[in-house]
Chains A and B, each alone.
Chain A
Amino acid sequence: MEFFLVQTLNGISYGLLLFMLSSGLTLVFSLMGVLNFAHASFYMLGAYFAYQISTKIGFWPALVVAPVLVGAIGMLIERWGLRQVHKHGHVAELLFTFGLAYLIEEAVHLVWGRSAVDYRVPPDLDGPLFTIFTSQYPIYRGFMMLVSVAMLVSVWLALTRTRIGLVIQAALTHPQTVEALGHNVPRVFMLVFGGGTALAGLAGVIGGNAFVTEPGMAASVGPIIFVIVVVGGMGSLAGAFIASLLIGCMQTFAVALDWNLVGGIKMSQLAPVLPYLLMVLLLIFRPTGLMGTREG
């Protein structure tokens, strides 16, 4: 019972972290049609910025400042890079973000070196939140879940309940009309891209100290967030949320099971491969993903 409860909580919290990572990607894709290969690099930038800021003025300011900085960089990149490339179509955009990922990684090497940096969980959030029978559940994981859920709610509210959200949605389908009504559509897209990267930056602030802040961190989460976006349905925020939880729980429980499969391979050995298996199967049987409407 204890084991089951702990594993369920572990699965949900891991899933929520995955959602934090992938929400920005799916947002930018659904609103702009840009598949941002550099998304995980913005996650990494968020972590490094938060590390730098937290050594100077503490973790709490970093929680706000780092995502804002990452978002600002995202906006600059949209304004001076992506917008120029946009004219040449989606392949050019894809290649642009692909190159960007390498650039960011090399920049991180130059500034912070090639080893891990000492970015730690702040003392206020370090320690057990509650105890399930004999297992401790860390505060930081609870905090991670809280931020993730808050992110989902606020993004959803911003898109459906605010004026700017309506303008964004309208600009997606009817850019000329929106422009004729006096809105600056390119600026709207700049905001969207900045917002998407800021979400990645926020995930970095939180994931960076929960795991390890090092130059390989972007490459290590890159594949899994694409899986989530594909499984959830390209461009569907709700789909990404469901897919994140699904994959989080699936991986966690696969580790827990000691079933022997064919050839003496244990279920737990396969755990990290399962999301990719799920993606392949889903692409065969339901190419639009769980909640997707758009043809990927």
Chain B
Amino acid sequence: MRGHFIRASAFGVAAALISFGAWAQTIKVAYIDPLSGPFANVGEQGLAEFRFAVDRINASGILGKQKLEVVPFDNKVSPQESLNQLKRVIDQNIRYITQGNSSAVAGALIEAVNRHNERNPGKEILYLNYAAVDPAFTNEKCSFWHFRFDANADMKMESLTTYMAGQKNIKKVYLLNQDYSFGQAVKKAAREMLARKRPDIQIVGDDLHPLGQVKDFAPYVAKIKQSGADSVITGNWGNDMSLLVKAGKDAGLDVAWYTYYAGGLGTPTAMGEAAAGKVKIIAEYHSNVANNKAAKWDAEYRKQAPKGNPDFYFLRGKIMWEMFAKAIAEAKSAEPKAVALALEGMKHQGDLGEVEMRKSDHQLIQPLYVLTLVKAAAKGGPKEARIDMEGSGLAPITDARMEGYTSATPSSCQMKRP
């Protein structure tokens, strides 16, 4: 018993010494996302991709002797738990955080980071957001300490509706969304933008349903059918997305689904071939995209991806880490303030074209794609549908590339700079 204790504490001291020694060269980034509970798979995928990216960047030598390291913190997608984890991050003297799942969490973190930075000059925290898309974070709630690498919900809708405006066969659109902040934002943006770009399109239905509560979407599908809609716009994700598409297929509903998250982890598998040819997604990347300079990266990631999450999903994550490393190199400092100043306004040659971190609101402007899920080439689909998602037999192909300017919506941000 005693022997154990002594050995354990000796080990602890040794470990502390080692980590202290390494500290000088290691720039730690806290990854605050769900690593247990119902969304753990989503959190684990991000973590796996980020570790892969960081290994590559460390090997590339862009940071000289310094190394990046991703340190996971489990927030269980709870804003409260995220704030507890942020305290631990601060205690461990980590100066960078990254988070993506849930805008509710992101909102809490932005506020907490702002407060911390005001009270602790010289010990600021910098927040790299890779997926929380509430438009407010780069508009009225914008912060110098927050950078967003994903197009926000309004920007995605801007690109999606620009694409839809060009589709002359769209006459009647139905809006079906989850009843919470994001779903309501999608609904509002879709109405506004369609009215501006194609006033002749009729909105024949507009429903909100509770988030994650609906088992049986058949009644909603019957309603969509009755409305005579030819297209449905939905911000649904997870089971709300897959159950909806499945119910549509069962009832023989012939509509095009315009979605944000039908490519989300597990959703292609759950939808199955019901989705083929009908489901469209707005995203910054898919594995079958043309002129893909990230193809090699994608293929190598797949070789060592965790079981159950085989796909490379976050191109914006790759872009984020590359720009972050570049900013540290340019600033010649790992101080968050210097890095933030180097990051804002930075232009970067991304794998699918140039991207820019807009200085005024810290929003990344990047090209987006409208893509359709089709049967994979191996299952008799088109030739370009080479790589399927999650082995589901569904593969993405490009409908249109939407250049960065199509989604570069103006921002109302009035940023306070230190």
Question: Chain A interface (Cβ within 8 Å of chain B)?
Answer: 2-3, 6-7, 10-11, 13-14, 17, 113-118, 120, 128, 134-138, 140-141, 211-212, 214-216, 219-221, 224, 251-253, 255-256, 266, 268-269, 271-273
Contact = CB atoms under 8 A, between A and B. Distances in A.
Given A10-B222, A17-B216, A118-B269, 15 more contacts: A2-B226, A114-B44, A116-B242, A138-B250, A138-B251, A211-B246, A212-B243, A214-B266, A214-B270, A216-B239, A220-B212, A220-B239, A251-B219, A256-B223, A271-B219
Given A114-B41, A115-B41, A252 B218 contact: yes
Given A128-B252, A215-B38, A271-B209, A10 B243 contact: no
Contact of B222 (A140, A215, A256): A256
A211 to B, nearest CB: 6
Contacts of B392: 118
B250 A117 contact: no
A7 B219 contact: yes
Given A141-B250, A255-B223, A120 B266 contact: no
A136 B269 CA distance: 24
Given A3-B222, A114-B40, A14 B209 contact: no
B411 to A, nearest CB: 29
Given A212-B243, A256-B223, A272-B209, A114 B218 contact: no
Interface string B217-256: 0111011011000000000000100110010001110000
Nearest to A139: B250
The 3 closest A-B pairs by CB, nearest first: A136-B252, A114-B41, A255-B219
Nearest to A115: B266
A136 B38 contact: no
A135 to B, nearest CB: 6
Given A116-B242, A116-B269, A256-B219, A272 B214 contact: yes
Looking at chain A's contact residues, the main secondary structure is helix
Nearest to B211: A272
Contacts of B270: 116, 212, 214
B81 interface: no
Interface in B198-212: 207-210, 212
B255 to A, nearest CB: 13
Contacts of A252: 216, 218-219
B308 interface: yes
21 contacts: A10-B222, A113-B41, A113-B307, A114-B40, A114-B308, A115-B41, A115-B269, A117-B269, A118-B269, A135-B225, A135-B251, A135-B252, A137-B251, A212-B242, A212-B243, A212-B270, A214-B266, A216-B239, A221-B215, A251-B219, A269-B179
Contacts of A14: 215-216, 218
A115 B265 contact: yes
A10 B179 contact: no
B272 interface: yes
A212 B239 contact: yes
Interface in B18-33: none
A40 to B, nearest CB: 12
Interface string B328-351: 000000000000000000000000
Contacts of B252: 128, 135-136
Given A7-B222, A113-B41, A115-B308, A268 B251 contact: no
A212 B242 CA distance: 8
Interface in B303-334: 307-309
Contacts of B207: 255, 266, 268-269
A220 B211 CA distance: 12
B9 interface: no
A136 B208 contact: no
Nearest to A214: B266
Contacts of B246: 211-212
A212 B246 CA distance: 10
B226 to A, nearest CB: 5
Nearest to A131: B252
B291 interface: no
B226 A269 contact: no
A120 B215 contact: no
A212 B212 CA distance: 12
A115 B210 contact: no
B169 interface: no
Contact of B250 (A11, A116, A136, A255): A136
A10 B219 contact: yes
A112 to B, nearest CB: 9
B213 interface: yes
A253 B265 CA distance: 32
A180 B242 CA distance: 56
A2 B222 CA distance: 9
A223 B228 CA distance: 35
Nearest to B392: A118
Nearest to B265: A115
A7 B307 CA distance: 41
Contacts of A2: 226
Contacts of A135: 222, 225, 251-252
A32 to B, nearest CB: 28
A292 B305 CA distance: 53
A137 B222 CA distance: 11
B244 to A, nearest CB: 11
A13 to B, nearest CB: 8
Contacts of A136: 250-252
B272 A120 contact: yes
Contacts of A220: 212, 215, 239
B77 to A, nearest CB: 13
Contacts of B218: 10, 13-14, 141, 252
Contacts of A268: 207-209, 223
Interface string B100-127: 0000000000000000000000000000
A260 to B, nearest CB: 12
Contacts of A273: 210
Interface string B34-72: 000010110010000000000000000000000000000
Given A118-B392, A120-B272, A135-B222, A214 B239 contact: yes
Q: Which of B214, B250, B266 is most buried by chain A, counting CB atoms within 10 A of its CB?
A: B250
